[in-house]
Structure 1
Amino acid sequence: MSNSAEFTYDLSEMLPFEGLSSLRPGTSVLVTGPTMAGKDRLLYDVLGDGVSQNEAGIVVTTDGDGGESVDMVRSKAETADDSLLSAIDCRAQSDREETERDDGSCVYSVSSPSEFTSIGIGITDAFSRAEEANVTRGRLALTSLSTMVRYADQKTVFKFCHVLSQRLNSAGFIGLFTLNSDAHDEQTISVIKQAFDANIEIREVDGEKQGRVLGLGSQPTEWRPLS
């Protein structure tokens, strides 16, 4: 698959912020916020929106079940071609095992969130499935980098994210990654942020979830309520 400048990705329906209505292929976005702030739900919403538009959807889950993650994306989609849905399950008991489910979706098993080579192979297989289906657009979600940081040092996770960003660019996909801001020190967060094109910050004020975007303009956007 090759990158194309003829289209962009529009995330403004889920995230009404300046700059998110026309993301170029290859853009990688880090979503940060406290634990249980709704970051994962946001990523599933974004993937479900893409699948509804016949884009490929790839979930890399480091702390959940791959099949359940695929089902969650499907539940967010108005329509879905299950053959375009893939998950890389990083908490499986087996390693490098690919399972095609009855609905046509695929789950690739990896034994640990620190098995970066195996995770990369699973993502490559998901890209190949899309290419074989003549699908040139897609969205990848990784939840959560915080789990990876518990298994590997911050520099190793940064390198993984940097390489994956390059592969997203080659495929013409976009990627969104979550990180729990209350689980790491500022230095760790600062190092990992450098691997991404933009950052969506989420916070909660008086029971209301709010978000803002950094990196897509000269200044951060204003904080706005998130539904």
Structure 2
Amino acid sequence: MSQDAEQRYRFGGLPIESVRPGTNLLVAGPPFAGTKAVALQMLAAGELADEGLVLVAADDTAESILKDYTGVGGTFDRGRMAVIECNSSGNDNADENVRTVRSPSDLTGIGIEFSSLYEGLYTEGVERVRIGLFSISTLLMYADELQPVYRFLHTVTGRVRSAEGLATCVIDPTAQDEQTISSVEQTFDGRVDVRQTDDGDHQLRIQGLPDQPEGWQTF
């Protein structure tokens, strides 16, 4: 697939210029700043009928994250989307588009389900897939060490690059030390910082990507 201007990912409603296919974005900010909503809005913006969507819900239920996705304007065909729900209760979900693993600590299980769903979409003729991970902070909280999470992120972002998709993965920088954040950043092409000012304004800043607005932008 060509990486010409027509194939670039665009983010209408957000002060972010279009990015090339195969871009992985780390969306960093505390929950109260609306960080999750920004990441979901980036996935929902300009969604095409022939694209797929895979959401990894480490923080919440599949039902809740899909509700949040539609809340920011996202639409989806049940035949080209899926959610991996990290549900420690171990209950099976009757929805065939929802895969359940036992907990956010089960990175192997999440990885297996991710690969299966991703490959299944391509088998059905879906050429480009948007990926959302909510959130890296939860995976780190459940992991004994950074390395397994890093390997998991490396696998996910590598798949997105090779298939010319798009990924937005959320992290709370207040919950991790700077060394951990720096290590996680290495697997991404750029970073979108989100914050809420003392006046209640929501702002974002893009780092590591070309041709983007400089400094903090209100949205």
The answer, yes or no, to whether TM exceeds 0.5 is: yes
Kindly indicate whether residue 195 of structure 2 is the aligned counterpart of residue 203 of structure 1.
Answer: yes
Q: Could you tell me whether the CA contact under 8 Å between 2:11 and 2:46 is conserved in 1?
A: no
Q: What is the identity percentage for the equivalent residue pairs of Structure 1 and Structure 2?
A: 31
- Counterparts of 1:79 and 1:200, CA distance in 2: 23
My pick for the range that moved more, 162-171 or 214-223, is 214-223
Deviating runs (4+, > 6 A) in structure 1?
Answer: none
Kindly indicate whether residue 172 of structure 2 is the aligned counterpart of residue 180 of structure 1.
Answer: yes
1:5 alignment partner AA: Q
Distance 1:13 1:90, change over 3 A: same
TM-score, scaled to structure 1: 0.84
Q: Which of 95, 116, 125 is matched with 1:100 structurally?
A: 95
- Counterparts of 1:143 and 1:128, CA distance in 2: 21
- Counterparts of 2:98 and 2:112, CA distance in 1: 12
Kindly indicate whether residue 119 of structure 2 is the aligned counterpart of residue 128 of structure 1.
Answer: yes
Distance 1:83 1:161, change over 3 A: same
Structure 2, unmatched stretches of 5+, are none
- Counterparts of 2:14 and 2:45, CA distance in 1: 12
- Counterparts of 1:107 and 1:166, CA distance in 2: 23
Q: Could you tell me whether the CA contact under 8 Å between 1:4 and 1:172 is conserved in 2?
A: no
Q: Which of 82, 100, 124 is matched with 1:109 structurally?
A: 100
- C-alpha displacement at 1:50, in angstroms? 4.9
Partner of 2:147: 155
Distance 1:68 1:204, change over 3 A: closer
Partner of 1:38: 34
- C-alpha displacement at 1:198, in angstroms? 0.2
- Counterparts of 2:202 and 2:149, CA distance in 1: 28
- Counterparts of 2:38 and 2:123, CA distance in 1: 28
- Counterparts of 2:15 and 2:164, CA distance in 1: 23
Q: Which of 144, 153, 161 is matched with 2:135 structurally?
A: 144
TM-score, scaled to structure 2: 0.87
Q: Which has the higher contact order (CA 8 A, sep 6+)?
A: 2
Number of aligned pairs? 216
